[in-house]
């Protein structure tokens, strides 16, 4: 077992086929369920029945609210508030199935081959469908860890074991994903990162300087 935590941050380059990405981008162009978030996420207060609250992960952020509320309810964000990135889900389709297959292939490699020396973690139960995130110029995401609790049913909620973050576009400047304040990745089209979803892997998205950064995130349990 490698005791360097950077080892468990895996960068898969170009693992999602271009034709699959093109199909997903075409579908994203047709949907109207993008949900925008305020630049200062403290302005989420009062938006949902159960407000964002201070929890580990990111105080008062979109990570601490139930994303089903985000997609199923109107977000009453004051018109004077500066907006930031936006989120979207896609309905089931053959394009989404192909996309999930490509992601799962790399996830299987990570668990079965990349982590081959760790025989006590050799499988997973499932992963969420991707949440797509659209960053435009001046959009960013502040430092957080992926203690995402809303993906589980029931009164008690755990956190996922792994996070998968990937990229659908490359026509942007800025927007690097940075871990531990000093390890930076400029993800290319079709790239993804896999890493543990816990407090040891804080990360942020730097401000997009120009272009359109469309990424996705899935969580594994």
What DSSP assignment string belongs to 3-31?
--GGGG-EEE-S-S-HHHHHHHHHHHHH-
Give the model's confidence band at 12: pLDDT under 50 very low, under 70 low, under 90 confident, else very high: very high
Residue 215, pLDDT above cutoff 80: yes
Q: Which residues contact 187 (CB under 8 A, 6 or more apart)?
A: 165, 166, 167, 177, 193, 215
pLDDT of residue 32: 85
- Comparing 75 with 26, the larger pLDDT belongs to 26
Q: Which residues contact 68 (CB under 8 A, 6 or more apart)?
A: 150
Identify whether the C-beta of residue 160 lies closer than 8 Å to the C-beta of residue 107.
no
Identify whether the C-beta of residue 188 lies closer than 8 Å to the C-beta of residue 167.
yes
For residue range 88-105, list pLDDT tens digits in order. Answer: 999 999 999 999 999 999
Q: Are strands 192-196 and 10-12 parallel, antiparallel or unpaired?
A: antiparallel
Q: How far apart are CA 69 and CA 48, in angstroms?
A: 7
Residue 18, pLDDT above cutoff 60: yes
Which token pair is 156? 């008690």
Q: Could you tell me the end-to-end alpha-carbon distance of the chain, in angstroms, rounded to an integer?
A: 21
Name which of 169, 180, 166, 179 is nearest 208 in CA terms.
Answer: 169
Beta strands in the chain (DSSP E): 10-12, 35-38, 83-88, 131-135, 141-144, 162-167, 172-174, 177-179, 183-185, 192-196, 203-205, 208-211, 213-220
pLDDT of residue 8: 98
3-state helix, strand, coil in the chain (%, to 5): 25, 25, 50
Name the pTM for this structure.
0.90
């Amino acid at each position: 077992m490698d005791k360097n935590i950077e080892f468990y941050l895996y960068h898969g380059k170009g693992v999602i086929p271009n034709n699959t990405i093109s199909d997903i981008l075409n579908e994203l162009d047709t949907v109207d369920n993008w949900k925008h978030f305020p630049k200062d996420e403290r302005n989420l207060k009062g938006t949902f029945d159960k407000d964002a609250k201070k929890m580990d992960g990111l105080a008062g952020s979109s990570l601490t609210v139930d994303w089903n509320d985000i997609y199923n309810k109107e977000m009453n964000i004051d018109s004077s508030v500066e907006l930031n990135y936006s989120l979207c889900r896609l309905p089931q389709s053959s394009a989404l199935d192909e996309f999930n297959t490509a992601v799962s292939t790399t996830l299987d490699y990570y668990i079965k081959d990349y982590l081959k020396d760790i025989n006590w973690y050799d499988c997973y139960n499932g992963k969420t469908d991707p949440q797509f995130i659209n960053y435009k110029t001046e959009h960013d995401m502040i430092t957080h860890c992926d203690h995402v609790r809303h993906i589980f049913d029931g009164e008690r909620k755990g956190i996922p074991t792994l996070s998968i973050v990937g990229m659908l576009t490359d026509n942007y400047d800025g927007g690097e994903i940075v871990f531990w304040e000093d390890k930076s990745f400029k993800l290319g089209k079709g790239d993804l990162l896999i890493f543990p979803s816990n407090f040891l892997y804080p990360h942020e998205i730097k401000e997009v300087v120009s272009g359109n950064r469309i990424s996705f995130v899935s969580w594994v349990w």
